[in-house]
């Protein structure tokens, strides 16, 4: 488990940065660029993300898994790497040729053309090689440096709504530069092919099989903002939805860090037939996600009426309702990270993934078509929650076929009860006064209430966490 822990630390560090930087940038951007310009940006990015996934055929998860399967055989891994890399290059050339021809003729063409750098970056990126080898130190350091530089430049040059093009340039080019930075380190894991003959055909069927569920899930992770741009009379609702969604997703960076760290290990254990180890690993992970996620999500919904206007500005008051509606979505996504992206991808259960995401996508499109014209961003939020909940339910049914029960459901009642009590208290506190000092009081009261209740209920994961901290501090004192 050493590599898993190290990768979790590296991914956690990077994901912490991905929390801190938006936390710093968002209130600045909402006040300098405004909801209309940020709505345009949200719409363009949603389209760009769909193009990235469709153009790449969802190869990132597949490439990560394939490298994990063969990482103990350097010759085989080298061949696999070059096969997948060349496929990505061909796909990139085809996609970029079509993309540039179309981008000049669409609405907001200037921003779409700039984002061409971001589109091309996904094809040349080789992070999957390092992730499959459970070596995320280099990619994390690279991304940290680039993100910090990008943030400094945004503060320096983005000053008013007309600076949206500058903001888009800085975002797109940072992706492009980041993709190139790991190439000098490729030889650490792969050798030149030499006389080996690449076999590209063997990848096509599994790539397409894994692409279908990812394309379907993209419908309700990105298509919601695209549909707001199509169906709503005001493009600013795309930003109102996006900012609320970003706030709800902040706690999910914990789960995302764990997913990236654990997926290669699950794939490797499955290849060895170690089902019991996989069940234990994922069950324990779920318990700790419950411990952290319940208070974060319920707490965020409780403080939303004060947090949103203070943080985003009065132009985003409508994001308060959207945030509260989206709260269950974040939990569904966190569980999906474990069940779908760690287990089902690792064991190649593409049929279950495809069915779950297709049903979720269909439900999302129907709900959006009915609700967005009437309720704008709030309607899109309802559609997303329905889609994520339906997809997770189907995934759980398929996952039980492989490893049975995860052994984590019994951890829910205590943590959920403590979080709900905490949520009721801080929600009431928000009705007494609405200012930054009350927000701090709500957060402090929420932390105390949640952990006191769990201590009184003798929660297992909390006790284990406290014991780990005590042991580590005890060792430091002895030293």
Which tokens in the block code for residue 23? 């936390």
Q: Is 474 exposed, middle or buried (0-12, 13-18, 19+ CB in 10 A)?
A: exposed
Burial profile 216-252: b = 16 or more Cβ within 10 angstroms, e = fewer: bbbbbbbbbbbbbbebbeebbbbbbbbbbbbbbbbbb
Long-range contact pairs involving 271-274 (C-beta distance under 8 Å, separation at least 24):
271/69
pLDDT at residue 223, rounded to an integer: 79
Q: H helices within 313-376, ranges in order? A: 319-338, 345-346, 350-375
Which tokens in the block code for residue 265? 């290990």
For residues 449 and 357, give the distance between their C-alpha atoms in angstroms, rounded to a whole number. 37
pLDDT at residue 228, rounded to an integer: 92
pLDDT at residue 318, rounded to an integer: 93
- Residue-range domain boundaries for the chain: 2-407
pLDDT at residue 466, rounded to an integer: 72
* DSSP-based three-state secondary structure for 318: coil
Which tokens in the block code for residue 108? 């907001």
Q: Mind listing the pLDDT tens digit of every residue in the chain (479 residues)?
A: 455 555 555 555 666 666 778 888 999 999 999 999 999 999 999 899 888 888 888 787 788 888 888 888 888 899 999 999 999 999 999 999 999 999 998 889 999 999 999 999 999 999 888 887 877 777 777 888 898 899 999 999 999 999 999 999 999 999 999 888 888 888 888 888 777 788 888 888 888 877 877 777 776 677 788 899 888 888 999 999 999 998 998 887 765 555 555 555 666 666 666 667 777 777 777 888 888 889 999 999 999 999 999 999 988 999 999 999 999 998 998 888 788 877 787 777 778 888 888 899 899 999 999 999 999 999 999 999 999 999 999 988 888 776 666 667 777 889 999 999 999 999 999 999 888 999 999 999 999 999 999 999 888 777 776 776 666 555 555 54
For residues 82 and 90, give the distance between their C-alpha atoms in angstroms, rounded to a whole number. 12
Which tokens in the block code for residue 119? 């589109």
* DSSP-based three-state secondary structure for 347: coil
For residues 193 and 135, give the distance between their C-alpha atoms in angstroms, rounded to a whole number. 22
Q: What are phi and psi of 35, to 5 degrees?
A: -70, -35
Task: Find where tokens 């495809």 sit.
Answer: 354
Show Cβ contacts of residue 474 under 8 Å, excluding neighbours closer than 6 positions.
none
């Amino acid at each position: 488990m050493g590599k898993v822990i190290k990768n979790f630390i590296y991914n956690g560090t990077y994901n912490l940065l991905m929390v801190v930087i938006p936390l710093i940038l968002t209130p600045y951007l909402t006040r300098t660029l405004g909801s209309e310009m940020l709505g345009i940006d949200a719409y363009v990015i949603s389209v760009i993300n769909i193009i990235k996934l469709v153009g790449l055929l969802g190869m990132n998860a597949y490439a990560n898994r394939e490298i994990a399967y063969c990482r103990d055989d350097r010759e085989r891994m080298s061949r696999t790497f070059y096969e997948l890399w060349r496929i990505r290059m061909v796909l990139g050339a085809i996609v970029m040729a079509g993309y540039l021809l179309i981008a000049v003729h669409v609405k907001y063409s200037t921003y779409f053309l700039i984002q061409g750098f971001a589109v091309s970056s996904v094809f040349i990126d080789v992070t999957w090689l390092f992730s499959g080898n459970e070596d995320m130190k280099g990619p994390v350091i690279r991304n940290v440096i680039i993100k910090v530089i990008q943030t400094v430049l945004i503060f320096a040059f983005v000053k008013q709504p007309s600076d949206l093009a500058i903001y888009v340039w800085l975002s797109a080019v940072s992706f492009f530069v980041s993709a190139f930075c790991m190439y000098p380190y490729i030889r650490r894991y792969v050798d030149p092919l030499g006389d080996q003959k690449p076999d590209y055909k063997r990848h096509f069927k599994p790539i397409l099989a894994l692409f279908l569920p990812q394309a379907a899930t993209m419908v309700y992770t990105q298509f919601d903002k695209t549909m707001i741009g199509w169906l709503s009379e005001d493009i600013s609702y795309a930003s109102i939805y996006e900012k609320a969604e970003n706030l709800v997703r902040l706690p999910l960076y914990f789960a995302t860090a764990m997913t990236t760290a654990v997926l290669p290990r699950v794939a490797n254990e499955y290849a060895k037939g170690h089902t019991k180890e996989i069940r234990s690993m994922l069950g324990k992970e779920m318990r700790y996600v419950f411990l952290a996620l319940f208070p974060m999500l319920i707490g965020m919904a409780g403080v939303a009426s004060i947090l949103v206007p203070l943080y985003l500005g009065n132009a985003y008051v409508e994001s308060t309702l959207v945030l509260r509606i989206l709260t269950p979505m974040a939990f569904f996504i966190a569980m999906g990270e474990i069940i779908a992206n760690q287990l089902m991808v690792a064991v190649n259960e593409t049929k279950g993934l495809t069915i779950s995401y297709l049903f979720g996508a269909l439900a999302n499109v129907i709900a959006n078509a009915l609700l967005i014209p009437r309720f704008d961003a709030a309607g899109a939020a309802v559609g997303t929650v329905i889609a994520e909940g339906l997809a997770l339910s189907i995934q759980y049914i398929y996952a039980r076929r492989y490893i049975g029960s995860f052994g984590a459901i019994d951890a829910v009642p205590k943590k959920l009860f403590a979080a709900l009590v905490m949520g009721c208290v801080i929600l009431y506190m928000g009705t007494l006064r609405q200012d930054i000092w009350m927000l701090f009081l709500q957060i402090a009261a929420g932390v105390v209430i949640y952990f006191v209740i769990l201590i009184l209920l003798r929660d297992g994961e909390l006790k284990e966490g406290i014991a780990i901290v005590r042991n580590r501090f005890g060792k430091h004192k002895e030293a």
